């Protein structure tokens, strides 16, 4: 059981996980998208696992996550990230999505994908804005290319989360990129 599932269980849920969505790209593509109403409203919390790599010719690729097809300036975040050069923090308001950093096509290890775990508590509630907690990271054979990132985000919407899309800022997602969504009961 993950730390998030343990926390969900201690806050009143059973801690049981049910798979709600799973998609792996067979070829390079511009997005992984659950589609409209692709996230069933059958659980208390969401736990999302992403395996991501961009095709952009860079060591890192910015990957954008949007909720409910909302790419308007409704996302406020705090970011803490670090690599072999040290750690840094920043914040931003009125952004158009949640930016997650993944390996790009220029990382040393050709088969390296970044791993992301995202927790969205109370995703079906319609009385409070949503909060999203992504934790991302990857380590390359060239230590300078690795990165870890924590990016808590406030999504300025009380709507239940029914759609999630993952789209790179440039180029495509590499074949093998995957999004799996679990509902925590």
d(CA 89, CA 73): 21
Please report which residue ranges of the chain form alpha helices under DSSP H.
3-10
The CB-based long-range contact list for 71-77 (8 Å cut-off, 24+ gap) reads 71/96, 71/97, 72/96, 74/155, 74/156, 74/157, 75/153, 75/154, 75/155, 75/156, 76/153, 76/154, 76/156, 77/151, 77/152, 77/153, 77/154
pLDDT of residue 15: 66
**64: nearest Cα among 90, 27, 99, 34:** 99
Task: Specify the pTM.
Answer: 0.89
pLDDT at res. 117? 97
Q: How far apart are CA 137 and CA 81, in angstroms?
A: 9
Cβ pair 67, 161 in contact under 8 A? yes
CB 130 within 8 A of CB 100: no
**Phi and psi angles of residue 142, each rounded to the nearest 5 degrees, phi first:** -95, 105
Token pair 């990129």 in the structure block, residue: 177
The residues with which 84 forms a beta bridge, in sequence order, are none
* pLDDT at residue number 143: 67
Q: How far is 38 from 178, CA to CA, in rounded Å?
A: 15
pLDDT at position 108 is 83
Q: What is the pLDDT of residue 109?
A: 86
pLDDT along the chain (185 residues), means of 10: 47 76 98 97 97 94 96 96 85 95 90 96 97 92 80 97 97 97 96
């Amino acid at each position: 059981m993950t730390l998030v599932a343990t926390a969900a269980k201690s806050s009143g849920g059973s801690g049981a996980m049910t798979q709600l969505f799973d998609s792996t790209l067979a070829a390079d593509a511009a997005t992984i998208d659950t589609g409209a109403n692709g996230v069933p409203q059958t659980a208390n919390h969401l736990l999302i696992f992403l395996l991501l790599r961009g095709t952009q010719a860079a060591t890192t690729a910015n990957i954008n996550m949007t909720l409910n097809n909302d790419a308007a300036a409704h996302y406020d975040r705090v970011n803490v990230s670090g690599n072999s050069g040290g750690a840094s923090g920043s914040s931003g308001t009125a952004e158009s999505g949640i930016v997650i950093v993944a390996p790009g096509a220029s990382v040393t290890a050709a088969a390296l994908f970044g791993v992301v775990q995202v927790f969205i508590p109370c995703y079906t509630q319609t009385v409070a804005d949503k909060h999203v907690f992504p934790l991302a990271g990857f380590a390359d054979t060239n230590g300078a290319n690795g990165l870890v990132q924590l990016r808590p985000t406030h999504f300025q919407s009380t709507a239940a989360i029914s759609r999630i899309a993952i789209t790179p800022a440039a180029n495509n997602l590499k074949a093998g990129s995957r999004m799996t969504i679990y509902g925590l009961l």
